[in-house]
Amino acid sequence: MNLDYTDDQKAFRQEVREFLAAELPARLSDKVRAGQALSKADHEEWHAILNARGWLAGNWPKEFGGTGWDAVERHIFEEETTAAHAPRIVPFGLHMLGPVLQKFGSKAQQDHWLPRILSGEDWWCQGYSEPGAGSDLASLKCEAVRDEDHYVVNGQKTWTTLGQHANMIFCLVRTSKEGKPQEGISFLLIDMESPGVEVRPITLLDGGVEVNEVWFSDVRVPAENLVGDENKGWTYAKYLLTHERTNIAGVGFANAGLQSLKRIARAERDGDRALIENPHFAARIARVEIDLMAMATTNLRVVSAAAAGQAPGPESSMLKLKGTVIRQEINALTKAAVGPWAIPFQSEALEGANEPSAGPDYAMPATRTYLNNRKLSIYGGSNEVQRSIIAKTMLEL
């Protein structure tokens, strides 16, 4: 047992730090620090910088143009980039579709789609959830019917994150109504510019637009865009979910959020003292920091087991659950810390349209982030679904 990083790992951390100091544009890190929404061009700019360094696909093997990093190296990269307020990597192509194509895609699909993810030629989004299929994803109805060398797709997807920027969507579609619901699902790649695809934005309670409804009416998709076998899509989706969860603890985000919370609580006044000297407030910060210290170590234990070659298992459910609870508590405390300055509605849609509030800059994103991050315990399998997974797999109940 040993909690220290190896010399190689320390050197790698230093290399990442130097890269970020030299290459991360202040314009982007300022936006991230201030909690402002990033534009499509912002994301593309950062992806291109990482790609030029060969560091865009941290979770891909070298043969596909990835870094070949192990789980500890990925963790160090994640820690350093979040601490430097770099934009997060848009996960849909890189973290979700990429691993599925590498594992289940044909050689032709790999050769065609993977380089386009790295170059930014394609922006992918995820077509999983439907109005009637959330936690019970296998009940999805969006239908693909084979018509010679095409599939004809009809139905609706929803909660499609950043779908407004995307030109491609990977979808779970129903190709059979026989047998168990899981057995009639296929994994299909659809060009968003095809006739019959319509994207409608959904405004969320924080005022922002990051998710969409996507409608398909008689959309013709070449049959070569089927990944793997017909009716085996559920297996691929489950594989994707485990990959999506390897970094689900969000330790980097939580640490950055906690540091920001402490800065705000030192700056805010509470009568004659700083807010952080209010013992009740300090106790709530302390509790979440203590929880985070333990969770960060749980995360490292899982990361280091993964680096030793163990497959991510139900531990990722535990990390997802605890990680989201901690981040939501930090968001709630940050909103509490800014006091009345939480009241001005600082929605993305109204940016520039209203008189700016006279409050401190750090107060601006507090309410918006708090409201927006209610999603953390809902998406990627709600926390209740995670509890059921834990009970079934780890407790065998």
Quick one: 14 or 203, whose CB is closer to another protein? 14
Among the candidate windows 11-19, 52-60, 234-242, 299-307, which touches another protein by CB under 8 A? 299-307
Angle at 233 between CA 227 and CA 238, to 5 degrees: 115
- Contact pattern for another protein over residues 113 through 152, marking x by CB under 8 A: ----------------------------------------
Tell me the closest approach of the beta carbon of residue 297 to another protein, in angstroms. 4
Tell me the closest approach of the beta carbon of residue 266 to another protein, in angstroms. 9
Structure token pair of residue 374: 């209610």
Among the candidate windows 20-28, 205-213, 279-287, 365-373, which touches another protein by CB under 8 A? 279-287
Region 254-273 residues binding another protein, contact defined as CB under 8 A: 262
The 10 Å Cβ neighbour count of residue 310 is 12
Closest Cα to residue 234, out of 280, 192, 185, 200?
185
Structure token pair of residue 248: 């689900």
Q: For residue 322, state whether it binds another protein (rule: CB under 8 A).
A: yes
Q: For residue 286, state whether it binds another protein (rule: CB under 8 A).
A: yes
Q: How far apart are CA 63 and CA 390, in angstroms?
A: 34
Task: For 229-268, give one letter per residue: b (16+ CB within 10 A) or e.
Answer: ebbbbbbbbeebbbbbbbbbbbbbbbbbbbebbbebbeeb
The per-residue DSSP string of 119-155 comes to HTS--EEEE--BTTBSSSGGG---EEEEETTEEEEEE
Interface with another protein (CB under 8 A), residue total 46
Tell me the closest approach of the beta carbon of residue 267 to another protein, in angstroms. 14
Which one is catalytic: 244, 268, 315, 329? 244
Closest Cα to residue 254, out of 295, 287, 283, 303?
295
Using CB under 8 A, which of 51, 102, 194, 304 touches another protein?
A: 304
Region 67-106 residues binding another protein, contact defined as CB under 8 A: 72
Q: For residue 14, state whether it binds another protein (rule: CB under 8 A).
A: no
Using CB under 8 A, which of 305, 332, 371, 378 touches another protein?
A: 305
Q: For residue 386, state whether it binds another protein (rule: CB under 8 A).
A: yes
Q: For residue 295, state whether it binds another protein (rule: CB under 8 A).
A: yes
Contact status, residue 188 vs residue 221, Cβ threshold 8 Å: yes
Q: How far apart are CA 227 and CA 221, in angstroms?
A: 12
Q: Residue 396 catalytic?
A: no
Using CB under 8 A, which of 103, 238, 269, 301 touches another protein?
A: 301
Tell me the closest approach of the beta carbon of residue 238 to another protein, in angstroms. 19
Known catalytic residues are 244
Q: Which residues bind another protein (CB under 8 A)?
A: 1-6, 9, 72, 262, 276-277, 279, 282-283, 285-287, 289-291, 293-298, 300-301, 304-305, 308, 315, 318, 321-322, 384, 386-388, 390-392, 394-397
